[in-house]
Amino acid sequence: MFVAAGLIVWMNFYPMVRGFYFSLYRGVGAQMEFAGALNYLRMLEDTQFRQTIGTTFFYLLIQVPIMLITGLALASMLNSPGLKAKGFFRTAIFLPCAVGLVAYSLVFRQMFAVSGIINTIAMNLGIMETPFNWFGSTWSARMIIILGLLWRWTGFNMIFYLAGLQNIDRSIFEAARIDGANVFQQFRKITIPLLRPIILLTAIMSTNGTLQLFDESFNLTGGGPGLTSRTMSHHIYSTAFEALIPQIGYASAMSFVIFIMVAVLAFIQIKVGDRR
């Protein structure tokens, strides 16, 4: 028990405390000097960081609701007792979760390249006359990231909903059907209320994951064009490891701002979603 507690403190809490310590300093190694709240005040003037906050929340507001609604709808359809080949469809939808983050980012990058399959199909169908540079404009680069997130994580949330639906007694739906409730009414009056705790869980996990989004921004679009698709985590990584002069203290301060955002949004979601 004490060993487990020690490992938890060492692996989780110590890095957090150490990160907060670094956020109060400037410089690297022996040149570190105490800066107090200057790193946090610097964020108020950092236009790039404010831009990444807006970009990350754009992904959050667009991608998370679509992903949760789609996952819930797919779970409801795959829970139908009369559906054949359930195992195949469940596996096919969940399979993208098992694909490596870097691997799928590279595949999407090739698909949406100027000479990629998306432009080729669109030109053959007469939708476009010339190839479109999907990574050359802000809206299309962001949409590719959102599409990649939906492709990879919708099945993950679907599994949670499917597990919850399988624990609901089928007689409840049969009684509602006898009383004249249609499919939409059953979904709104039975499925959603009974799955509320699971919906709350997936909403919190999806929100936290989106606020810490890094791989898609780094591997798929590289943060471009002009850093307009860069996320907060990507900006922190660039500040800490890609700058000519590493700014570990400032990167640590930005990390704690993300931590506060995650905690506040999770608290709000729990208060709004948990009606006990």
250 close to 39: Cβ distance less than 8 angstroms: yes
Instruction: Kindly state the percentage of the chain with pLDDT values over 70.
Output: 97
pLDDT given at position 203: 93
Q: What is the pLDDT of residues 203-228, one digit of tens each?
A: 999 999 999 999 999 999 999 898 89
CA–CA separation, 62 and 96 (whole Å): 20
Amino acid at the residue 145: I
pLDDT given at position 48: 93
**Which CATH number is 220's domain given?**
1.10.3720.10
Confidence of residue 84 (pLDDT cuts 50, 70, 90): confident
How much is the average pLDDT of 17-26? Answer: 87
Whether 22 has a pLDDT exceeding 90, the answer reads: no
Quick one: three-class SS letters along 160-220?
HHHHHHHCCCHHHHHHHHHCCCCHHHHHHHHHHHHCHHHHHHHHHHHHHHHHCCCHHHHHH
How much is the average pLDDT of 249-272? Answer: 89
Confidence of residue 184 (pLDDT cuts 50, 70, 90): confident
CA–CA separation, 139 and 276 (whole Å): 41
Whether 132 has a pLDDT exceeding 90, the answer reads: yes
Range of the domain at 123: 2-273
Whether 58 has a pLDDT exceeding 90, the answer reads: yes
pLDDT given at position 72: 92
pLDDT given at position 275: 63
The number of residues in the chain equals 276
Which residue spans within the chain are E strands per DSSP?
Answer: 25-26, 33-34
- The mean of the pLDDT values for the chain is 89
How much is the average pLDDT of 127-143? Answer: 92
pLDDT given at position 30: 63
Task: Return the sign of the alpha-carbon dihedral for residues 112, 114, 115, 120.
Answer: positive
169: left (phi over 0), alpha (psi -120 to 50) or beta: beta
Domain count, the chain: 1
pLDDT given at position 6: 78
pTM attached to this predicted model: 0.90
What are the beta bridge partners of residue 25? Answer: 34
Whether 114 has a pLDDT exceeding 70, the answer reads: yes
pLDDT given at position 270: 83
Candidate from 11-15, 106-110, 115-119, 220-224 with smallest mean pLDDT: 11-15
pLDDT given at position 161: 94
The interaxial angle of helices 47-78 and 196-211, nearest 10 deg, is: 150
